[in-house]
Amino acid sequence: MARCLELAERYRGRTSPNPIVGCVIVDRAGKVIAEGAHAGPGTPHAEIAALAKLKHKAKGATLYVNLEPCTHQGRTPPCAPVVRDSGVARVVIGMEDPVPGHGGGTAVLKRAKVAVTSGVLREDCERANLPFVTWAREGRPAFTLKAAITLDGKIATVAGESQWITGEAARADVMRLRTTHDAVMVGIGTVLADDPQLTARVKGARDPIRIVLDGELRTPPMAKLLDPSTSRTSPSAALAKLPRVIIVTGTHAPTDREAALIARGADVWCVPDDDKGQLDVTALARMLGESGITSVLVEGGGEVHASLLDHQLADQLVLYVAPRIVGGPAKSWVGGAGLPVLASAHAFVFDDAVVRLGDDLRFTALARPVPEGT
């Protein structure tokens, strides 16, 4: 199953709104005889790709796959009947299909007397497909909050200097991280302060869709992220219909500024205000999910991070920590009003892997599930 996940990872960032899936087939002696992975919408699913390499040699074999074979007709035919008819004796599944109405692959196989084992490395499989699972179950993308910070959690000095807190290795890793997400999102403060391109700048990689939260449409029409020369192919074929830049604004934004942004190739989306008078990120999350976007890398600033945390939309954290201390009232990576009691703090669980990148460290954490009834 671990090998299935390795194969699936090769296509992270290119399969949306589909999951990343890998498949390994072994013979009766336990020897690997075929492998496959899903390369994106409209391409064969991992099981089909692996079985195609065997032709009629699958009889009696064991097929491993990190996601339950599907039973629905989409861009491609369902997998479960093909697996059932292939002659494999056993199928080992990492996790069940989370899409309502799309499961049933296990039942199809069992009715044909194919032995099925489910739940192998389930947590790893669900973690690998966090974007797909979140999109399938909640109808929204998974949000990853990313920040480059000092040891005391600052994203800039008291004078506003922020380039660069982390070193080259950490910044290169951010570029890689962008290639694995459908979209990257920032607030208008980040655009005005840094004028970022928000592209991946990785050779041969596709750029994420760029999203700006801008309640008053203050994005300069000549901002770098609106430069047509910075726009490359979409994260996946299924997202090609979406604009390369989305400016998200409120219902009270000046309409006279909209035309200039549209002329520069941006789409302007309008969302209502939440109960704090800020852009309703929950409504935005639904809109993004309906568009097929399953993963968003949120690069700040602090108020954007705080809003997503307050609305229970922060699914994962990626923090790049530099061995420096700024101190004082410099900006922190999470803004907002703060919480009065420790019991109400946003809780996360650290990933086991802490990665050293030059002088810096990268920490990853997943949101701790909220107990039912709370």
Q: Which are the catalytic amino acids?
A: 47
Say which residues have a Cβ less than 8 Å from residue 55's Cβ, sequence separation at least 6: none
Question: DSSP E strands: which ranges in the chain?
Answer: 22-26, 32-37, 62-67, 90-95, 115-118, 142-149, 183-187, 209-213, 245-249, 266-270, 295-298, 316-321, 348-350, 355-357, 360-367
> How many Cβ atoms from other residues are within 10 Å of residue 327's Cβ?
10
Query: Tokens at residue 320, please?
Result: 């790049």
Read off the amino acid at residue 193.
A
Cβ atoms of 321 and 363 within 8 Å: the answer is: yes
Cβ atoms of 318 and 177 within 8 Å: the answer is: yes
The pair phi, psi for residue 119, each rounded to 5°, is 85, 15
